[in-house]
Structure 1
Amino acid sequence: MVKTRPAETPARVRRVVLTGGIATGKSYTLQRFAMLGAPTCDADDIARTVQAPNGAAWSGLRDRFGPDVFDASGHLNRRMLGAVVFSDPQALADLNALVHPHVRQAIEHWLAELDPASGPAMVAIPLYFEGDRVQTFERVVVTACDLSTQVARVVERGFTEEEARHRIAAQLPTEEKARQADHVVWTDRRFADTDRQVEEVWAVLTRP
C-alpha cells in the first residue's frame, strides 16, 4: 500500500491585530511596535485611500451620503461625515459596508505579500470589535486609557466635549475591549511606561 505524504501547510506570517477606542493611543503604539521590528499596517490609512476621489469606495459614499459631506475638490470631509454617522446607527452601518470590504481586501493582500520570517505582523484596526471580524488574528492587542483622558484627547482634536463623548459612546467601551484582549497597553501614563508595555508585549509575541 502506497502512503501519500500529506501536503505541507504553507507557512504564513503571524497575524496580530491592534485595536482600541478613539484617542486611546493606537497610532503611537503602532509606531513603537514598528520601531521594534514589526511589519505594520494601518486600516485608517487604507480607508482614507479608498475614500479619496477615484478610490474604490468614493462613488458609493457619494451616492449614499450626498455631496454635502464632500468639499469642492471632491474629498470627503471626515468630520462632517462623522457628525452624520455617529448620530445614526444605520448610517454608520452603511458607511462600514461601503468601506470595510475594500479595507479588508487590502489588508489581506498586504499580509499575503509578507515573508513569514519577518516576524509577527501588526495590523491596526480601530473598529475590530465593532465589526464583523471576518479576518482572523492570532492575538489581539488593545490600547486603553481612562475615560477622562480619552475625552480630553478627542477635545484636543478640535471637538467639543459633547461631541467627544458622543463618539466614544458609539464604540464598544474600553473595559469590554480590554476584557476580550490578549494584551492591553495602557497609554494614560508616561510615554516611557507605554514603551515598556509595548516591549513586554513584543517579547511575548516573538517567543519561538
Structure 2
Amino acid sequence: MRTVPTVAITGGIASGKTSFCRHLSVFLENTEWFDADACVSRLLDGSEEVRVETAKVLGKGVYVGGKLDRAQVRSRIFSDPRRRVQLERVLHPRVRKIWMAQAVRSKAVGRKFVADVPLLYEAGWETACDFIAVIACSSAKQLQRLTSRGVCESLARKMIAVQLPMEEKMRRAHEVVWNNGPLQLLTEQARITADYLNEHYG
C-alpha cells in the first residue's frame, strides 16, 4: 500500500507559491489542501481570543471598526521584530494544530495532503512533511513583485530580510521550482511536480 503523503509548498515572500499551488491543483489527483495564510486570516478575523491577544501584542488601532487593519499590522511587525515574534507565538501553535488535524483526517481517507506554508522552515515544521517543494526566485524579482503590489521599497526589503535566506530553503527542499520566468514556465513545472506526486503516491 502506498504511503499517503503530507506535501508542503513553501518559499520566499512573493516567490509565487500561491500561483504554483493554483496550477498544481489542476494536475494533482485525490488531494486535500491547506492554506496557512488563509488559516491565519480566519484566526485574526474570527477568533475572539486571537483578536484580544493580537491587540495586546500590536497595540490599539490594529482593529478598526472591528476589522483588522493589515497595513498597520505589516508596519508594526516589520518595524519592531519583538512584536513579530510575539504575534507568531500567538498564531503558530494554533495554525499547526489546525494543520495537523486536517492532515490526519486527509490521511485517514487516503487523500494526499498539500499545505501551502510560507514560513515552514522558520516555524520548524518541516519534520511533519514527506515532500517539500520550495518556490524560489531572485531577491530582485521578490522586490519587484512586492513594490508592484504597492509595498514601499524599504518595507519590502524588511519583509524579505526577516525570512530564512532563499538559498537555505532551496538547500533543504526535496524539489526547487525556480520562478523568475513567465507564468507558462511555472505552469509546466507544476505539471511535472504533479506527475511525480501522482506516480509515487497515487
- TM-score (structure 1 length as normaliser): 0.87
Moved over 4 A (4+): 115-119
Partner of 2:24: 33
Aligned partner of residue 57 in structure 1, secondary structure: helix
**In the alignment, residue 133 of structure 2 is paired with which amino acid?**
V
Residue 45, structure 1, aligned to residue 50, structure 2: no
List alignment gaps of at least 5 residues for structure 2: none
Greater length-normalized contact order (CA 8 Å, ≥ 6 residues apart): 2
Residue 174, structure 1, aligned to residue 166, structure 2: yes
Aligned partner of residue 23 in structure 1, secondary structure: coil
List alignment gaps of at least 5 residues for structure 1: 1-10
Q: 29-38 vs 15-24, which deviates more? A: 29-38
**In the alignment, residue 35 of structure 1 is paired with which amino acid?**
V
From the CA coordinates, give the structure whose radius of gyration is larger. Answer: 1
Distance 1:193 1:134, change over 3 A: closer
C-alpha contact (below 8 Å) 2:106/2:112 kept by paired residues: no
C-alpha contact (below 8 Å) 1:12/1:116 kept by paired residues: no
- Structure with greater proportional helix content: 2
Partner of 2:199: 207
CA displacement, residues 44-71 of structure 1 (integer Å, 9 cap, x when unaligned)? 0000000014445111112222222221
- Cα distance in structure 1, aligned partners of 2:33 and 2:74: 26
Partner of 1:158: 150
Partner of 1:64: 57
**In the alignment, residue 28 of structure 1 is paired with which amino acid?**
S
- Cα distance in structure 2, aligned partners of 1:55 and 1:45: 17
- TM-score (structure 2 length as normaliser): 0.89
Give RMSD over aligned pairs. 2.1
Partner of 2:11: 20
Shift of 1:193: 0.9
Q: Please, which of 82, 95, 109 is the counterpart of residue 87 of structure 2? A: 95
